[in-house]
Amino acid sequence: MDFIQINVQCDAPFGEILTAEMGELGFTSFVETELGFEAYIEEEEFSHPAVQTLFNNYRKQTRIWYELKKIPKVNWNEEWEKNYDPINVDDKIYVRATFHESKPAFDYEIVINPKMSFGTGHHETTHQMLALQYDIDHKDKSLIDIGSGTGILAIMGAKLGAKSVAATDVDEWCIENSQDNFDLNEVKPEFIKKGTIHQLALTETYDIVLANINTNVLLEEIPEYVKILNSKGHLFLSGFYETDLPQVNALVLEHGLVEVKHTTRKNWVAIVYQKVS
């Protein structure tokens, strides 16, 4: 049985959305790449019109480029392992899969098996969020990761000493994958809930709120993040380009937060704010 491979390039926050949608179309394997992801499906299950319709539905929200090719049947676990490299974040944090050798010399080591979920540390947004987390005190803090994907940021928070971590995502696969990764890292989250911040209507408040999503979602949800953020708490945001920083910044500052630090990497921004009131 031959397979169809689609190489997709898109804005990072939409990678998770598109992989979830493509999973519904019958795609069974995904490999994250620097610019997006590769998706695989058995040739007889493949519908090009369905894929075109899916991508057209998102073109107003993100750039999407893709190419197709037919490839012979392969061992997907073996291919995935060949294409998944461990991540070194500033020589302080080491992100690896279960089949990589442990590196105890690093301050922190995170084990991630991403399956179909985004958030491995490979992309600029996740890489920068991890680096920013390293510089902010998490000890005895309560934390929630909105749009958690693999759960990597919540896991980082737990390793940095957070007293409690929680996670949310809109995709069931991400919920399951993050639970697997919490288990791999011996982290017990307070909860992992499915839904948007509006749907969940959370009543708990947190010392640290993290959201690595996309510009449109961030602009819609920032007021909700502020509501669940404790006084003196920190809000971490990423998933947007430098060109979007002014409007994100303006909205956050309007809600009484001040910028602590931001970084850029290949035009992607990650930023941390503090609630002063």
Q: Where do the CATH 3.30.70 domains begin and end in the chain?
A: 3-80
Averaged pLDDT of the chain: 90
Angle between helices 215-227 and 245-254 (to 10 degrees): 20
> What are residue 64's phi and psi, to 5 degrees?
-135, 125
pLDDT in tens, 177-192: 899 999 999 999 999 9
pTM above 0.85, yes or no: no
Other CB atoms within 10 A of residue 116 CB: 24
Domain with residues 3-80, CATH architecture: 2-Layer Sandwich (3.30)
Q: Where do the CATH 3.40.50.150 domains begin and end in the chain?
A: 84-275
Q: 84-275 domain in CATH 3.90.226.10?
A: no
pLDDT in tens, 47-78: 999 999 999 999 988 999 999 999 876 555 56
Residues flagged as binding site for S-adenosyl-L-methionine = 126, 147, 169, 212
Residues flagged as binding site = 126, 147, 169, 212
- Is it the case that residue 159 has pLDDT exceeding 80? yes
- Closest residue by Cα to residue 121 from 97, 145, 146, 147: 97
* pLDDT for residue 209: 98
How confident is residue 261, by pLDDT bands cut at 50, 70 and 90?
A: very high
> What are residue 28's phi and psi, to 5 degrees?
-115, -15
154 contacts: CB under 8 Å, gap ≥ 6: 143, 144, 145, 148, 165, 166, 167, 178, 182, 187, 189, 210
